[in-house]
């Protein structure tokens, strides 16, 4: 078993601790704030060019925040603005599905037009980056925690991290091992939780 695979197995053994609320300590760490993942084929096929530029530009305002995380939120929430007028049962609005009060607290004029609009893609994406950055994503300290703050649902965190991983072009031979471990956890056949999946996906992203 390779060192990477062994590390992932060790992480799986730590899942009960994650469920106990110490995910921040286990997953925290110094992500490379200047390194951004290359887009995968799935990203090129699914993300409109204008949105991908927004995700990359907005992520650059928060060192350690991968643009793929913003893109994954955009995909999960409104399929990159293809359904921007949808309002959730909780009242979330716009392409990044902000609650109005949260948007008001973190709003950013992403397109520098002098106004901030929850339904404006640039404003919404830049505001999402600001919110994630303030919630733990700065310097890659704890992206899962930042996502949980964005939406208090472990299954949401796992779904976004899985999508973000799908949008990242693999950069090493470890990707095959990571995919195998992720498939095992995601299948649920061994009783792993969404918190476990979030942990594995995040660990794989850090390995590169």
pLDDT tens string 156-200: 999 999 999 999 998 655 555 565 555 555 555 455 555 666 666
What are the C-alpha distances in Å from 119 to residues 57, 129, 159? Answer: 18, 15, 23
Number of folded domains that form the chain: 1
By 3-state DSSP, what share of the chain in percent is helix, strand and coil, each rounded to 5? 60, 0, 35
- pLDDT tens digits along 27-84: 333 345 568 999 999 999 999 999 999 999 999 999 999 999 999 999 999 999 998 6
Nearest to 97 by CA among 109, 114, 80: 80
pLDDT the model gives residue 200? 63
CATH code, domain with 30: 1.10.530
What is the token pair recorded at 91? 């009242």
According to the model, what pLDDT value does residue 52 have?
97
Helices (H) and strands (E) in the chain, counts: 12, 0
Contact indicator for 59, 66 with CB cutoff of 8 Å? yes
Domain extent, residue 119, equals 3-207
Q: Which helix or strand (DSSP H or E) is residue 198 part of?
A: helix 194-207
pTM score over 0.85: no
First to last CA, the chain: 18
- Assess contact for 66 and 168: CB atoms under 8 A: yes
């Amino acid at each position: 078993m390779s060192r990477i695979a062994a590390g992932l197995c060790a992480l799986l053994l730590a899942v009960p601790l994650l469920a106990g609320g110490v995910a921040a300590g286990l997953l925290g760490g110094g992500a490379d704030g200047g390194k951004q993942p290359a887009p995968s084929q799935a990203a090129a096929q699914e993300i409109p060019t204008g949105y991908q530029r927004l995700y990359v530009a907005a992520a650059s305002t928060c060192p350690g925040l991968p643009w793929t995380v913003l893109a994954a939120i955009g995909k999960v929430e409104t399929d990159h603005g293809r359904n921007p007028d949808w309002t959730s049962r909780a009242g979330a609005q716009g392409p990044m599905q902000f609650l109005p009060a949260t948007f008001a607290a973190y709003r950013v004029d992403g397109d520098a037009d002098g106004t901030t609009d929850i339904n404006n893609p640039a404003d919404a994406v830049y505001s999402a980056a600001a919110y994630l950055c303030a919630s733990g994503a700065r310097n890659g300290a704890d992206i899962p925690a930042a996502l949980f703050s964005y939406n208090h649902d472990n299954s949401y965190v796992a779904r976004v991290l899985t999508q973000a991983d799908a949008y990242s072009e693999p950069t090493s031979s470890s990707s095959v091992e990571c995919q195998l471990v992720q498939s095992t956890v995601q299948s649920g056949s061994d009783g792993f939780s969404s918190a476990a999946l979030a942990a594995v996906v995040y660990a794989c992203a850090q390995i590169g």
